[in-house]
């Protein structure tokens, strides 16, 4: 992975701009994943960095990796405590106006025919996402999402079910339009305490967003 993908680096942390299409975890079929790039992300350290959280395969943007086990534990605690600020940008299929908070618990369901997916379920795990519509273009809306929890597929399901406007290109919860899924982790702020500056990173909006890049 080229150095221009590195958004932040110090002795504890590394934030990369993960490209869409690259899984964080190795797929069962053994195809290319983040693991294949870890050697090139050591930057003088002996150990490989370790992903602290996950982004879906087709989501691009800010991904935090730890550079030692003690830092990894502290960063995970920050995520679990809801102290990490995450800002996503997504293009939704439909016209969405205004702003608000989606408070919609989520659960995982699985069938032999369709595999697994995440659905809204009052008995599921709590999931909250703040959202704000930014602009419209050709029947689509650019929306800023700030998730307060970190459930699997949270933004994708909250867009499709909570706003009735799925993410463009979403193969599972939307129409799966060509050109890739238009969901991007645009910025990340991780507090560190101990009088240390927070980890902050911003990932440029990728080309696939087209007219919504501006």
Q: State CA 143 to chain mean position distance.
A: 14
Query: Nearest 5°: CA angle at 60, between 92 and 185?
Result: 70
Q: Which helix (H) or strand (E) holds 156?
A: helix 154-157
78 CB contacts (<8 Å, ≥6 apart)? 84, 190, 191, 192
Supply the DSSP string of 2-60, one letter for each residue: -GGGEEEE-SSEEEEEEPTT--SSPPTT----GGGGGGGG-TT-SSPPEESS---TT-E
Residues in the chain: 214
From the list 22, 17, 167, 148, the residue with the least C-alpha distance to 87 is 148
Block residue for tokens 């408070």:
103
CA dihedral 167, 170, 176, 178 (to 10 degrees): 80
Residue 33's Cβ-side half-sphere holds a number of Cα atoms within 13 Å equal to 16
Q: What positions carry a catalytic annotation?
A: 56
């Amino acid at each position: 992975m080229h150095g221009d993908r590195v958004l932040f680096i110090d002795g504890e942390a590394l934030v990369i701009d993960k490209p869409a299409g690259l899984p964080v975890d190795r797929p069962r079929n053994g195809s290319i994943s983040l693991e294949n790039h870890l050697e090139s992300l050591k930057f003088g350290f002996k150990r490989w960095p370790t992903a602290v959280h996950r982004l879906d395969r087709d989501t691009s943007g800010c991904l935090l990796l730890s550079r030692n086990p003690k830092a990894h534990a502290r960063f995970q605690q920050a995520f679990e405590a809801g102290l990490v600020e995450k800002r996503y940008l997504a293009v939704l299929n439909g016209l969405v106006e205004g702003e608000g908070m989606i408070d919609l618990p989520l659960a995982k369901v699985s069938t032999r025919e369709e595999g697994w997916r995440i659905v809204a379920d009052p008995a599921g795990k709590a999931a909250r996402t703040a959202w704000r519509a930014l602009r419209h273009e050709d029947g689509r809306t650019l929306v800023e999402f700030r998730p307060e929890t970190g459930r699997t597929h949270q933004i994708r399901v909250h867009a499709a079910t909570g706003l009735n406007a799925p993410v463009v290109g979403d193969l599972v919860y939307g129409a799966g339009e060509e050109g890739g899924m238009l969901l991007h982790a645009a910025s990340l702020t991780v507090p560190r305490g101990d009088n240390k500056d927070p980890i902050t990173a911003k990932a440029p909006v990728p080309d696939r967003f087209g007219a919504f890049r501006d």
